[in-house]
Chain A
């Protein structure tokens, strides 16, 4: 609680200031604030992914000659399992990006 000594004049000041008060519950404000927070979170996540992508790209660049050499064998594998891999990837992506909507919070 406050340790500020109050007088009747202070009560008058407080009463006049009470009209400046925001409502105790304001869903519109809370939603707007949380959408800004979510936007910030997504920006941070995107930056983290970008940081992760750099070493991955470096590794891919380093092993590129070996990948090219293995390309015919990989092409056969892709033809066999490619559509399945794409489907699994799409489901994973949709689940991850919509976790906020369905309130799947860690």
Chain B
């Protein structure tokens, strides 16, 4: 997987549109999933994901290969999410998204639990939310997530541990 990514990055650097398109196809799920959990608003998240790929295309020359491509892309996505939060005002869009999601969805089996989880995730500090999203929801290693979020490994691990405890506590309360 890594080798193919490296080949695609190299081809995209040489100007191949098809290669970059394949990179988008291979990593859009990870980037969008991360942004959806971090931002809450799916439309905003998808918009940021598209911006992420544009920024990645612009920065192809600066990718050195010291981290996986998905980690590099999620790092760009993380910086986009942070600047989006600064420009939109903390929590406003996320609260609206959850309010909209509440309408009618809570009827489906498991949906209430999912909404509780989403609310609990929204209550976490943004770095903790991002750390939990990458390590628990997206199967990133601690090192990969630390690289993507530009955090020391110890801080990342602490975010994951604390975030997981808070989420499980929130889910446990309704059982």
A48 at the interface (CB under 8 A from B): no
Of A1, A16, A37, which is within 8 A of B53 by CB?
Answer: A37
Of A4, A23, A29, A37, which is within 8 A of B141 by CB?
Answer: A4
B137 at the interface (CB under 8 A from A): yes
Q: What's the tally of chain A residues with a CB closer than 8 Å to chain B?
A: 33
B136 at the interface (CB under 8 A from A): yes
Closest Cβ–Cβ distance, residue B128 to chain A (whole Å): 14
Closest Cβ–Cβ distance, residue B125 to chain A (whole Å): 18
Tell me how many residue pairs across A and B have CB atoms closer than 8 Å: 102
Closest A residue to B116 using CB positions: A16
B32 at the interface (CB under 8 A from A): yes
CB contacts (< 8 Å) of B54 on chain A: these are 33, 36-37, 40
B114 at the interface (CB under 8 A from A): yes
CB contacts (< 8 Å) of A73 on chain B: these are none
CB contacts (< 8 Å) of A19 on chain B: these are 114
Q: Size range of the interface on B?
A: 35 or more
Interface residues of B in 20-39 (CB under 8 A from A): 20-21, 24-25, 28-29, 32-33, 36-37
Proximity string of chain B (51-82) to chain A, C-beta cutoff 8 Å, 1 when within and 0 when not: 10110011000000000000000000000000
CB contacts (< 8 Å) of B18 on chain A: these are 103, 105
Proximity string of chain A (29-63) to chain B, C-beta cutoff 8 Å, 1 when within and 0 when not: 11011101110110000000000000000000000
Interface of B is mostly: helix
A17:B117 contact, CB within 8 angstroms:
yes
Closest Cβ–Cβ distance, residue B49 to chain A (whole Å): 7
Closest Cβ–Cβ distance, residue B109 to chain A (whole Å): 11
Interface of A is mostly: helix
Closest Cβ–Cβ distance, residue A92 to chain B (whole Å): 19
Of B20, B25, B28, B37, which is within 8 A of A17 by CB?
Answer: B37
Among B2-10, B83-91, B163-171, the stretch in contact with A: B163-171
B130 at the interface (CB under 8 A from A): no
Among A5-13, A64-72, A74-82, A83-91, the stretch in contact with B: A5-13
A2:B139 contact, CB within 8 angstroms:
yes
Known: A9-B168, A34-B24. A40 touches B58 (CB 8 A): yes
Docked CA distance A17–B136 (Å)? 9
B50 at the interface (CB under 8 A from A): yes
Known A2-B142, A40-B57; further 17 A-B contacts with Cβ < 8 A: A12-B171, A13-B168, A14-B136, A16-B113, A19-B114, A20-B33, A20-B37, A21-B33, A25-B25, A29-B49, A30-B21, A33-B49, A34-B17, A34-B24, A37-B57, A105-B15, A106-B16
